């Protein structure tokens, strides 16, 4: 099928950047991104591209170049579905918070709503592409919904999981390691492969069956997260043995069979994907009664929770076993640098633990607002909104967050944190002035020379 019009349902972290790049590389294809969230669509349409709802290096430039030419953002979902030959489903698939599979399974209600919406309004044949991360065999459910509409419309389902990482989304999309397309219909697969083919070499476009494609996405995230939990497990052993986790990571990473990436020990991984997708994998394994498989992958999450918890516990015990009434300055709230996304950020859980001990927290993050921080904490439901608001406040500058603080906790690896005037920060903090570097980004001997009591992960 020759594709001239594409619709993407879901204008989020995946839908926005992915479609912007497809539009840039395929000027002859009209790409419309739709969403039920009007405020989000309005933000995507803001003439001032610094106000786009998602911050990703390089994204604003591409949106500026393509928007209004062949890239459109709209809330007119039915219209966009109807006029397009290919429809991407790129809606959120969070962990279920209710009912069967609560806390483990992926909540597929938004995906199902999209399938029903497409089934209801489509008058011509469509290729429906699963862009969201989905449990293996979801395509079967989508096909069943689409095929039972009673219309004569033919639907082909493809799985095309997205592997971009936030903060580097545009680079990842422009130079992907691979593009994965799973499907039954060769025609449909090639229609999608052609779109990517405008900038991705065909050899890097992998064609598989639908189930392999769906499962590969969950597996890739499980393997990546497993490396972080593995090195974080070693970090705790390093702290007991005077080994240095960064040295260990370098030494093992030079083995070409292991490789150097994803071996950075930290306060724990965050983000909207790793935990959700592994929990989902564990749930799927259990649903097939594969207990050993489920237990194996569950350890990745258990270790990650342990890492966040022990960071907070170490901070408390170092501050003479109490943080009650003490000001702790957080540098960073986002789950990694170069993004404004805070979903599942380690900072949220470390803060929550310290707040249970009655700490006062001042946060500086270059891209995260006080409003977002409050809503992240309120979502946990650990204490009242008033209390969160009283105990935690974001500041406009890092120096305000750290003035009179007993300790600095570095939660995100933003590059600018390394360039601060640490002498000034030291002078303005309470003494002894402690640094807990959850990302190992500062130089230990330099910090100690200034006078800080410095501790990091795995050193
Ligand atoms: N964030 C990432 O880095 C990343 C990377 C790869 C894959 N994924 C996967 O991609 C999917 C989307 O993730 P995201 O981070 O972009 O989510 P997101 O929450 O940022 O965006 C999803 C959007 O879908 C919209 N939506 C939900 N139901 C809708 C409906 N019925 N009709 C129209 N719009 C609807 C929401 O309003 C929201 O704006 C998830 O399955 C996720 O696991 C995410
Ligand atoms: O060596 C490392 C690498 C990462 N992290 C942390 O791990 C989390 C996730 O980082 P990253 O994977 O870079 O970002 P995500 O945007 O969550 O991307 C992951 O999740 C996406 C959603 O499924 C996938 O598309 C990507 O391929 C996959 O990398 C962050 O908190 C990082 O700080 C570490 O602690 N150590």
Tens digit of each residue's pLDDT (9 = 90 or more) over 121-131: 999 999 999 99
Q: Calculate mean pLDDT across residues 428-454.
A: 98
Q: Are residues 187 and 217 in the same domain?
A: no
Which CATH number does the domain housing residue 357 bear? 3.40.50.720
Task: Say whether pLDDT at 254 is over 80.
Answer: yes
Q: Are residues 174 and 247 in the same domain?
A: no
Q: Are residues 204 and 246 in the same domain?
A: no
pLDDT digits (tens, 9 = 90+) for 11-33: 999 999 999 999 999 999 999 99
Beta bridge partners of 410: 331, 437
Task: Say whether pLDDT at 410 is over 90.
Answer: yes
Q: Calculate mean pLDDT across residues 373-393.
A: 97
Domain residue limits at 370: 211-459
Contact 103/97 with Cβ under 8 angstroms? yes
Please indicate whether residue 55 or residue 325 has the higher confidence score (pLDDT).
325
User: Among 458, 8, 423, which Cα is nearest to 247's?
Assistant: 458
CA of 165 to the centre of ligand 2 (A): 6
Using CA atoms, how far apart are residues 138 and 130, in angstroms rounded to an integer? 9
Task: Say whether pLDDT at 120 is over 80.
Answer: yes
CA of 369 to the centre of ligand 2 (A): 22
Cα–chain center distance at 25: 25
**Ligand 1 site-directed mutation target among 8, 9, 11, 14, most atoms within 8 Å of CB:** 14
Share of the chain above pLDDT 70, in %: 100
**Among 193, 208, 223, residue at a domain's last position:** 208
Mean pLDDT over the full length of the chain: 97
Coil, strand or helix at 21: helix
Using CA atoms, how far apart are residues 37 and 27, in angstroms rounded to an integer? 26
Kindly compute the dihedral angle of the four CA atoms of residues 413, 414, 418, 422, in this order, to the nearest 10 degrees.
Answer: -100
Q: Are residues 56 and 180 in the same domain?
A: yes
Write out the H or E segment, with its range, that includes residue 454.
strand 453-456
Q: Are residues 230 and 270 in the same domain?
A: yes
Atom of ligand 2 nearest to the CA of 439: 35
pLDDT of residue 132: 98
Cβ(164) to ligand 2 under 6 A?
yes
Contact 147/322 with Cβ under 8 angstroms? no
**Among 192, 208, 224, residue at a domain's last position:** 208
Q: Are residues 291 and 340 in the same domain?
A: yes
Determine how many CB atoms are found less than 10 A away from the CB of residue 164: 18
Would you say the ipTM is above 0.90? Answer: yes
Q: Are residues 202 and 244 in the same domain?
A: no
Share of the chain above pLDDT 90, in %: 98
Q: Are residues 272 and 165 in the same domain?
A: no
pLDDT of residue 2: 86
The number of domains in the chain is 2
Cβ(173) to ligand 2 under 6 A?
no
pLDDT band at 1 (very low <50, low <70, confident <90, very high): confident
Atom of ligand 2 nearest to the CA of 228: 36
pLDDT of residue 149: 78
**DSSP codes, 181-249:** EEES-HHHHHHHHHHHHTTS-GGGEEEE-HHHHHHHHHHHHHHHHHHHHHHHHHHHHHHHHT--HHHHH
Cβ(14) to ligand 1 under 6 A?
yes
Q: Are residues 260 and 333 in the same domain?
A: yes
Task: Say whether pLDDT at 152 is over 90.
Answer: no
Tell me, yes or no, if 114 is annotated catalytic.
no
Task: Say whether pLDDT at 86 is over 80.
Answer: yes
Q: Calculate mean pLDDT across residues 160-180.
A: 97
Atom of ligand 1 nearest to the CA of 93: 41
pLDDT of residue 48: 97
pTM of the model: 0.96
CA of 341 to the centre of ligand 2 (A): 12
Output the six-digit token pair for 299.
């350890």
**DSSP codes, 401-427:** HHTT-SEEEE-S--GGGGGS-HHHHHH
Q: Are residues 13 and 144 in the same domain?
A: yes
CA of 314 to the centre of ligand 1 (A): 36
pLDDT digits (tens, 9 = 90+) for 321-379: 999 999 999 999 999 999 999 999 999 999 999 999 999 999 999 999 999 999 999 99
Using CA atoms, how far apart are residues 188 and 327, in angstroms rounded to an integer? 58
Cβ(163) to ligand 2 under 6 A?
yes
pLDDT of residue 169: 97
H-type alpha helices, 332-442: 346-356, 370-380, 385-391, 398-402, 422-428
Q: Are residues 168 and 261 in the same domain?
A: no
Q: Are residues 103 and 63 in the same domain?
A: yes
**Among 173, 208, 243, residue at a domain's last position:** 208
Cβ(91) to ligand 2 under 6 A?
no
CA of 350 to the centre of ligand 2 (A): 18
Name the residue with the closest Cα to ligand 1, atom 37: 37
Atom of ligand 2 nearest to the CA of 272: 17
């Amino acid at each position: 099928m020759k594709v001239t019009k594409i619709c993407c349902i879901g204008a989020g972290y995946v839908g926005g950047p992915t479609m912007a790049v497809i539009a840039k590389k395929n000027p002859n294809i009209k790409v419309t991104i739709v969403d039920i969230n009007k405020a989000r669509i309005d933000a995507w349409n803001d003439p001032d591209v610094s106000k786009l709802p998602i911050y990703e290096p390089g994204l604003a430039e591409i949106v500026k170049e393509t928007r209004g030419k062949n890239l459109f953002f709209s809330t007119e979902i039915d219209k966009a579905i109807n006029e397009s030959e290919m429809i991407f489903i790129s809606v959120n698939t969070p962990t279920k918070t209710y009912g069967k599979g609560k806390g483990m399974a992926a909540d597929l209600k938004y995906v199902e709503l999209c399938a029903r919406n497409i089934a209801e309004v489509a008058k011509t044949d469509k290729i429906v592409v699963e862009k969201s991360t989905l449990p293996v065999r979801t395509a079967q459910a989508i096909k069943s919904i689409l095929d039972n509409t009673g219309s004569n419309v033919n639907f082909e389902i493809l799985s095309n999981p997205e592997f971009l990482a936030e903060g580097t989304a545009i680079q990842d999309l422009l130079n992907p390691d691979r593009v994965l397309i799973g499907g039954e219909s060769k025609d449909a697969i090639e229609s999608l492969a052609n779109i990517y083919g405008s900038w991705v070499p065909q050899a890097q476009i992998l064609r598989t069956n639908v189930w392999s494609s769906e499962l590969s996405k969950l597996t890739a995230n499980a393997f990546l997260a497993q490396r972080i939990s593995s090195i974080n497990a070693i970090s705790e052993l390093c702290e007991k043995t005077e080994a240095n986790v960064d040295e260990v990571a370098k030494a093992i990473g030079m083995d070409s069979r292991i490789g150097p990436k994803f071996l950075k020990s930290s306060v724990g991984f965050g983000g909207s994907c790793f935990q959700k997708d592994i929990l989902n994998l564990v749930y799927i394994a259990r649903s097939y009664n594969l207990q050993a498989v489920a237990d194996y992958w569950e350890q990745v999450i258990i270790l990650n929770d342990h890492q966040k918890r022990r960071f907070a516990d170490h901070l408390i015990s170092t501050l003479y076993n109490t943080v009650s009434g003490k000001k702790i300055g957080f540098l960073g709230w986002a789950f990694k640098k170069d993004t404004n996304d805070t979903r599942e950020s380690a900072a949220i859980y470390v803060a929550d633990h310290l707040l249970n001990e009655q700490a006062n927290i001042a946060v500086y993050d270059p891209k995260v607002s006080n409003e977002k921080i409050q809503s992240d904490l309120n979502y946990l439901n650990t204490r009242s909104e008033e209390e969160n608001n009283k105990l935690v406040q974001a500041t406009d500058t890092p120096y305000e967050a750290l003035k009179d603080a007993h300790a600095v906790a570095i939660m995100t690896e933003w590059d600018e944190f390394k360039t601060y005037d640490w002498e000034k920060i030291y002078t303005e903090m309470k003494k002894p002035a402690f640094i807990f570097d959850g990302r190992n980004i500062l130089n230990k001997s330099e910090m100690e020379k200034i006078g800080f009591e410095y501790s990091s992960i795995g050193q």
